[in-house]
Chain A
């Protein structure tokens, strides 16, 4: 038996989580700072009979995993920055055709080629709205390797449950950081397998007719059920339609199937949050600095806590509102120009008490950076 205790990169923790969740097919294209995910999977997947393919570009790798998913496999791709932009067309396809898949985006500085080897969290809104048209999406994140492992398993489970692309919004700092990971034993974390149709042969299968609970049982390509999959608006057979009723019903279904399950999807952690007067809302590697500062201030008796988001989309507005109620100030700690802050402001009762503690120069935000703003807000000078 192999040692379950590892010392590795965040990107490798993601790989371990994906394999634990049952990943069978990966397609990718080299890009910093996510490349280690592809490198490790090129070795690990064939060892267990899985498939790895390096495609000709980012677009093709996104398309290839969608194709593979339709044959019944759990699939994933990984990318960063410009690669995430390129994949958006096919991510929209996966939303529309309801194909389970996981996309890891190890964020780097942007826009454009930007700051490839440095950290950023600037893709929060792109994860939500990168592809055109109304749609819904799930985006998850984590700040340490044990959590990256678990949230990666969650990503696969949610992709299968809701038949949707799930974005793993990691970042360069946590992706390249090395720390300890303990691989959970088999069965320790729940694994969701694909819901497949149980209709007997001879009974018409309607691939795009949602059940009462909004779920759509699938049928693998190569099986007895032959049906059409398209990125066009489509009816219950999967055949293109521009009938206004069909268009409206499908769009509502795509939005509702995720919004109606926001509580089941929401993931977060509380650090010293009980009775906190000052709350840091943060995620990913930024949360590590926020937690560090909160802990040192708690040791001095100050009531400071951290609400660490692990699911960003759908944004858990109700939960954030609840947790931030009564706080003297809420500092959103992130490495962008306030993408999560805008969501927090929209969620809380007193948006005037929400402040941004950010860093956008490619350097990891430090406890010192956050402390400077906190002092100003607390009226203790600059």
Chain B
């Protein structure tokens, strides 16, 4: 199938601003789904609220556009109820780690087979440019006219600490790399997190003098480096990209099947 066969063209044009990175993430995600030859009927895309969350309307999967921060909780219900389904959960940084932070860490801990794609643009775009828990200090935002004083989360470190069994990071500049990571994440049996740095030239870039979309993407090229690369060794202040965790741990729905087996034996006895 061609990538466009995965889109609901009826619902286009999309609502993202010119230069937004989220369309690139959608592109990488659909290519991953295509290359894995997944059946559209087997995929449920569950999203929360925000610019990133609107992605679920544009794809021709089962789509569940839910509440701000709560996508993973809805997805957990879908997955545990019907474990054969593939759950893809695109999220924004505020969606995933501010209002949805509790659901996020517990999905990691539970190791339920869901893929979380965190489109990190370090800002609340849909509401007009307020700082997020990923903005970091000394940033300008509509709610930080005197610059932010909040420290930022590191999504990779939070995911690792909370127990995610697959954790990766890429950027919209490295779209082929992102596609490969998404393929591995979707194929991984357990909770997988892929952080994709995604530019918001409209709100974040403009206010923080990071330039237009091209300049922001060039920034991803210049300010990141592959895990294990010489560039990263020479300059540890660069943001590392790559697969940080890829490990096997019992998956939640499979473990629950064991509970059912145990409970049925109890009942029979």
* A contact residues vs B (CB 8 Å cutoff): 24-25, 27, 43, 46-49, 51, 53, 55-57, 59-61, 63-73, 75, 89-90, 93, 221-224, 226-232, 237, 239-240
Contact = CB atoms under 8 A, between A and B. Distances in A.
Contacts of A222: 41-42, 44, 62, 82, 84-85
Closest 10 CB pairs of A and B: A67-B77, A64-B77, A63-B73, A46-B263, A68-B81, A60-B73, A56-B106, A230-B65, A67-B78, A67-B74
Contacts, number: 135
Contact of B73 (A64, A75, A227, A239): A64
Contacts of B40: 226
Nearest to A219: B62
Interface of B: 8, 10-11, 40-42, 44, 46, 56-57, 60-67, 70, 73-82, 84-85, 102-103, 106, 256, 259-260, 262-264, 266-267
Nearest to A239: B11
Contacts of B82: 71-72, 221-222
Given A49-B264, A60-B106, A93 B77 contact: no
6 contacts: A43-B263, A46-B263, A63-B70, A222-B41, A226-B40, A239-B11
A228 B65 CA distance: 7
B171 to A, nearest CB: 29
A24 B80 CA distance: 11
A80 B80 CA distance: 24
Nearest to A63: B73
Contacts of A57: 102
B57 A239 contact: yes
Contacts of A64: 73-74, 76-77, 80
A67 B81 contact: yes
A38 to B, nearest CB: 15
Contact of A70 (B10, B56, B78, B262): B78
A60 B70 contact: yes
B76 A60 contact: yes
B259 A221 contact: no
Nearest to A234: B65
Given A93-B66, A222-B42, A230-B65, A240 B267 contact: no
A90 B106 contact: no
Given A67-B77, A231-B66, 11 more contacts: A46-B262, A47-B263, A56-B103, A57-B102, A59-B73, A60-B103, A69-B77, A70-B62, A71-B81, A71-B82, A221-B85
Contacts of A53: 76-77, 80, 256
B81 A51 contact: yes
A130 to B, nearest CB: 15
Contact of A46 (B10, B102, B260): B260
A258 B80 CA distance: 31
Contacts of A226: 40-41, 60-63
Contact of B64 (A27, A43, A70): A70
B137 to A, nearest CB: 29
B22 to A, nearest CB: 16
A221 B78 contact: yes
Given A221-B44, A227-B62, A47 B70 contact: no
B223 to A, nearest CB: 34
A67 B262 CA distance: 26
Contact of B264 (A47, A59, A221): A47
Nearest to A67: B77
Contact of B63 (A59, A75, A228): A228
Given A55-B73, A55-B76, A46 B264 contact: yes
Contacts of A73: 81
B74 A63 contact: yes
Nearest to B268: A47
Contacts of B74: 63-64, 66-67
A90 B102 contact: no
Contacts of B103: 56, 60
B81 A229 contact: no
Contact of B77 (A47, A63, A228, A230): A63
B199 to A, nearest CB: 24
A65 B73 CA distance: 9
A242 to B, nearest CB: 12
B250 to A, nearest CB: 16
Given A56-B102, A223-B41, A230-B65, A71 B85 contact: yes
Nearest to B69: A59
B75 A67 contact: yes
B80 A90 contact: no
Contacts of B73: 55-56, 59-61, 63-64, 67
A89 B49 CA distance: 13
Nearest to A49: B260
Contacts of B10: 237, 239
Nearest to A221: B62
A47 B266 contact: yes
Task: Indicate the member of A69, A222, A224 with the most B CB atoms within 10 Å.
Answer: A222
A226 B56 CA distance: 12
Contact of B76 (A48, A67, A223, A227): A67
Given A60-B70, A221-B82, A230 B57 contact: yes
A75 B8 CA distance: 30
Task: Indicate the member of B61, B74, B85, B260 with the most A CB atoms within 10 Å.
Answer: B74
A240 B77 CA distance: 23
Nearest to A45: B263
A224 B41 contact: yes
A90 B67 contact: yes
Nearest to B259: A46
